[in-house]
Amino acid sequence: MEIEGKVAVVTGAASGIGQATAIALAEAGAAGVVVGDVRPGAMDETVARIEQAGTRALALQADAGRLADWQALFARVDAEFGRLDILHNNAGMGEGEAGWPGLDPLRSLKLIEVNLGGVVLGTQLALPLMQRGGGGVVVATASGAGFAPLPPQAVYAATKAGVIHFTRSCAPLLESHGVRVNCICPGLVETPMLYEPGGGSVADWLRPIYDAVELLTPDKVAAAVIALIRDDAQVAQAVIVPN
């Protein structure tokens, strides 16, 4: 899909991969980029960068794990732009310092709601709006952790594996709705999620991996998202972005 003139939604856009993708879409000529995050004030920089590229920006507070937030977001997109062409289901969260099985069960539930539920809800609710405009592209942020066991982050890994299998199961949407669904699976990325909450340090279980690889930048992952959007041959693929 050609990005120029299209309308896009990016979740988890206050920082990291979501912010980088939102800016890249604007720089590629998107007519509008709608950014969502649970922290509305944290999206100010993202909005400013989108507008600097000459693209209309709209920031909406949204929790990807809440159905009502998704419904409100798409209703606003429809009202403001009348179409939706691109969705980057990027919002996600980690298990935090405790990790599996020590994390609070409520956090386990929230991980599932946001990391997997957000991808499912976002994709499902985007379909009517995309189909009305002739089709679209959905890209989700999965993870390399979705391909192999990760005992210290078992819930996180399970949600990302779910995103990969959900993506592969969405292949028929191209024929039925004109919508291509893919996901990216990056390795370690230099984002706030990489560090323990409030501590600014890498979790002990992650340190050996952290020290052994060169971290991906959000811009490099965003470039992979843009490539998937543009490549009409890519359908229901889980694309690894290696360190």
Q: Which two tokens stand for residue 193?
A: 């999620």
Q: What's the burial of 110, exposed, middle or buried (CB within 10 Å: 0-12/13-18/19+)?
A: middle
Buried b (16+ CB within 10 A) or exposed e, 184-198: bbbbbbbbebbbbee
**Are residues 83 and 7 in contact, defined by beta-carbon separation less than 8 angstroms?**
yes
Known catalytic residue: 210? no
The neighbouring-strand residues paired with 33 are 8, 57
Residue 41's alpha-carbon distances to 16, 23, 144, 164, 215, in angstroms, are 15, 17, 30, 31, 27
The neighbouring-strand residues paired with 57 are 33
CA angle 94, 136, 72 (to 5 degrees): 60
Asked whether the bond before 197 is cis by omega within 30 degrees of 0, the reply is no
Which element (helix H / strand E) includes 34?
strand 32-37
Determine the Cα–Cα distance for residues 46 and 50; give it in Å rounded to an integer.
6
Q: Which of 34, 156, 183, 189 is flagged as catalytic?
A: 156
Catalytic center residues: 156
